[in-house]
Amino acid sequence: MPADEVFALAADFGKASPRVATAIFTAYKEGGDLFAQAWKSNAEATSGVHGKHYPASITSEVKLAGLGINIETGPDSSMKQGVMGRGFELGSKNQPPHLDGLRALGPADAKIQRLSESAIGEVLP
C-alpha cells in the first residue's frame, strides 16, 4: 500500500474513530452472542442428561480493555453446572472431550471478522 493511501486511511480513522469504535463494539457483541449460541447448541447435543443445565451456563460478555475489545464466551461458573465446563470441553476421567466451544470457534471467528469489516466499511468514506 503506498504511503499516501496509508496517510489517507489514518486520517479517515481519525475522523471516524467514535463511529468506528461503536460499530466494532456492536460487531463484536453480535459475534460473541452468535459464538455463545453455537456453543450452546453443540453442548445441547453432547451434554446428555447429566449435563442438562450446562448449555444454559454458556454466556458471552464484551469487555473494553484499554484500547481493545475482548469477548469472554464460555461457561459461567456462577451458573448451574457452569463449573463443569472444563470437563465437558476438554474431557475427564469420566468422559471424552466434547469440544463444543472449539467446534463453534472457527465459524464464530469468521463471522466476527465479516461483521467487523462490514461495520468499518459502513462508517468510513
On whether the CB atoms of residues 53 and 61 are closer than 8 A, the answer is: no
Size (the chain), residues: 125
Which pLDDT belongs to residue 45? 96
pLDDT at 1: 52
Q: What is the pLDDT of residue 70?
A: 86
pLDDT at 9 over 80: no
Side chain identity at 38, as an amino acid letter?
Answer: A
- Render pLDDT for 37-70 as a digit per residue (tens, 0 to 9): 999 999 999 999 989 999 999 999 988 877 678 8
Burial status of residue 49 (CB atoms within 10 A of its CB: 0-12, 13-18, 19 or more): exposed
Of 65 and 36, more confident: 36
Q: What average pLDDT does this structure show over 24-33?
A: 88
pLDDT per residue over 74-118, tens digit each?
A: 999 999 999 999 999 999 998 999 999 999 999 988 988 888 888
Q: What is the pTM of this model?
A: 0.80
3-state secondary structure of 123: helix
